[in-house]
Amino acid sequence: MISASELSVVWRKSSYSSTNGGNCLEVGEGVATVVPVRDSKAPHGPAVLFASAAWASFVTEVKGK
């Protein structure tokens, strides 16, 4: 894991996330080979890095359910 504040990425939340700051994950965009994911309540906390292909497979499976 790496500190999310060390990454130069644009963070985004799902449009399904509530506006009251609930339990949300944010996904970083702008890194070619990995997809960083962080807790929206801890923007300077750790980010988990997923291989781009693994993240794409995960999203495809979730959308298909």
HEC states along the chain? CEEHHHCCCEEEECCCCCCCCCCCEEEEECCCCEEEEEECCCCCCEEEEEEHHHHHHHHHHHHHC
Mean pLDDT calculated for residue range 28-53 = 90
Does 60 have pLDDT greater than 70? yes
Structural domain that includes position 52: 2-16+24-64
The mean of the pLDDT values for the chain is 86
pTM: 0.79
Tokens 């990425």 found at: 9
Phi, psi values for residue 2, rounded to 5°: -135, 155
Total number of domains in the chain = 1
